[in-house]
Structure 1
């Protein structure tokens, strides 16, 4: 019975201590929530891109073929007089004149045998919207552009040696080239018969880019490269030449897709 007075003193003290602990816990939780809210902008999707690659200097784009290697893949890219977004082109579209034609010839492992890019001289001006996209001005085209037919003949030589045509939206780029071949009276059969590999279609199958509905979407070429090499689609690509930028990106993506 002697413990009763002591218990009468300890119980109120314990209750007071418990209340203080609860109050401190609630206050601490509020502080943590405010802190999380304050730092939330760091996780925004429009945050600055941290990863940057340069197609002219990065070793990711330097893959020379060994001596004696044989042609296998022909990687193709085009730039046009008007804006045509290859990721958005439907089955039917009106081809725009090609002003830049670039390609790489690769061996069966994806190593590079040769690379060419040709600025094509046209009679009409390049639209301002197209210049904003690829950086090629009408003045540059008129002063440094080549005649179309000799360039297409060089491309057909590469086509004759290749086993597979590769591009990001291969149907789009092949349709543009076929239109130009027909316009100058060159044969189209070899290009039409060449088997194809589309990096844009392969990218959609990977499923890393989704529409709001959840459906897999076609990735941009830079997004596919970022996903395959850097595990993040958001990549800034530096370049001096738009045609070589895309053909090198496409060839690099191919090397990962055929592993």
Structure 2
């Protein structure tokens, strides 16, 4: 089974700091979908999460989740983490567009809400990394003609499907887009 997931956060992880560092960002939006091998969605979860802190205005401008929205509509981080862990337990592969970022965010969440060290127990498939050589978007910092930047989710959707990615930077639409890319790779024998 395949677990595709996406998060929206209060900032970027401090990659060189431990997950339990209080300066680490919080997850404010989480979406997960569990698929069987034929691509049928068999379970899913998505929720706004109330991190219990002020959501920075610059981040709210990106994903649209303000402190007020998180307080009124959000669930507790531990509830979201519990549901995520139950889905990942059923998965054989974990998928995301920049999956290492999302895994790090869930590691931070586990450290923060449970005081636990959590490491992803499953192999991963990163649609961002796998799409790089297909999208072939020149990197602004390229030293060589074949140096390509990692494509955004919107760039990847545009490349493979000729469409614009609607509602970008919300966990559910981004999760669904990553799933679509992953199953496109499988269908074309590119995975």
Same fold (TM > 0.5): yes
Higher helix proportion (structure 1 or 2) = 1
C-alpha displacement of 1:207: 4.7
SS at match of 2:65: coil
Q: Does 1:109 align with 2:57?
A: no
Please name the residue that 1:248 is paired with.
176
Q: Does 1:192 align with 2:120?
A: yes
Give the TM-score of the pair, scaled to structure 1.
0.63
- Please give the root-mean-square deviation of Cα atoms over the aligned residues, in Å: 2.3
Task: Report if the CA contact (8 A) 1:109-1:255 is conserved.
Answer: no
Q: Distance in 2 between matches of 1:90 and 1:252?
A: 30
Taking the TM superposition and a 5 Å limit, the aligned residue runs for 1:66-81 are 72-81=1-10
Please name the residue that 2:165 is paired with.
237
Match 2:159 to one of 227, 230, 241: 227
Cα distance 1:163–1:144, how it changes in 2: closer, same or farther (>3 A)?
same
Task: Report if the CA contact (8 A) 1:121-1:142 is conserved.
Answer: yes
Cα distance 1:240–1:222, how it changes in 2: closer, same or farther (>3 A)?
closer
Structure possessing the higher radius of gyration over alpha carbons: 1
Q: Distance in 2 between matches of 1:110 and 1:179?
A: 30
Q: Distance in 2 between matches of 1:186 and 1:227?
A: 41
Query: After TM superposition, where is structure 1 displaced by more than 6 Å over at least 4 residues in a row?
Result: none
Cα distance 1:241–1:199, how it changes in 2: closer, same or farther (>3 A)?
closer
Q: Distance in 2 between matches of 1:197 and 1:210?
A: 23
SS at match of 2:8: strand
Count of residue correspondences: 178
Q: Does 1:176 align with 2:100?
A: no
Please name the residue that 2:136 is paired with.
208
Please name the residue that 1:148 is paired with.
77
Q: Distance in 2 between matches of 1:113 and 1:131?
A: 31
